Amino acid sequence: MQLTETIQQRKSTRAFLNKTVENDKIQYLLDLARHAPSGVNTQPWQVCVVSGNTKKQLDHALESAFRSGVKAEMDYQYYPKKWAEPFKSRRKACGLKMYSVLDISREDKQKQKDQWAANYRAFDAPVVLFFFLNEYAEQGSFLDYGMFLQNIMLAAVDQGLASCPQAALAEYPKIVKKQLKQDENLKLIGGMALGYEDKEALVNSYRLEREEVAQFTQFFD
């Protein structure tokens, strides 16, 4: 597959087939991703690949925390504390698009909650990846990590797999670290659902618009 096509086909997938992802494919994705650049070659990524019974137990623990009203406490601030335009409108459009496709009204708070709860099960994907940073890492390592994550997602498309990067999976870091026996001082930066796309699922049928280059670029001669 051409790189241009791979980039355009990548999307955040929220429904997956009940089909096992081969371990050698996961190994292949990570083997490609490790070639991402990083400041002074720090290679800050640390990954936990979770599936099977371990995933089921962790899914249950995370979803239960959410449904019980446990306050999310991420290891870092992901979203703005105060939303401003145009980001506020884009955020709203993102949610409305999904709820519209799924025929979930603004008034149906229970269905909205149920849909959001699926985040904590990694949308029932057979595999979820959790990504950690050393406790001493600073903002630069987040930039490095972004390139590493993009490599995984593009390689997944090339292998016929689908993915969804998820900040929501980092909302309860204490639970994740305890379940996976990770050092509590590590920073959990997020997770990624991985599997084979359910192409019949409505939630996978829409795409969000992207701004044209002219809207975010200035050229200087």
pLDDT digits over 49-95, tens only?
A: 999 999 999 999 999 999 999 999 999 999 999 999 999 999 999 99
Identify the three-state secondary structure at position 210. Answer: coil
Residue whose C-alpha is closest to residue 98's, from 119, 77, 128, 124: 119
CATH code that applies to domain 3-82+120-215: 3.40.109.10
pLDDT at position 106: 87
Identify the three-state secondary structure at position 81. Answer: coil
pLDDT at position 45: 98
The length of the chain in residues reads: 221
Contact between residue 131 and residue 145 where contact means Cβ atoms under 8 Å apart: yes
Name residues of the chain where pLDDT drops below 50: none
How many other CB atoms are found less than 10 A from the CB of residue 125? 31
pLDDT at position 103: 93
Burial of residue 212 (number of CB atoms within 10 Å: 0-12, 13-18, 19+): exposed
Q: How far apart are CA 120 and CA 67, in angstroms?
A: 10
pLDDT at position 19: 97
Residue whose C-alpha is closest to residue 190's, from 176, 207, 204: 176
pLDDT at position 167: 97
Amino acid sitting at position 177: K
Angle between helices 139-158 and 23-33 (to 10 degrees): 130
- Cα-Cα-Cα-Cα torsion 21, 26, 28, 29, nearest 10 degrees, comes to 110
Letter string b/e over residues 160-196, b meaning 16 or more CB atoms within 10 A of that residue's CB: ebbbbbbebbbbbbebbbebeebeeebbbbbbbbbbb
Burial of residue 133 (number of CB atoms within 10 Å: 0-12, 13-18, 19+): buried
Residue whose C-alpha is closest to residue 13's, from 219, 168, 211, 201: 201
Locate the domains of the chain by residue range: 3-82+120-215
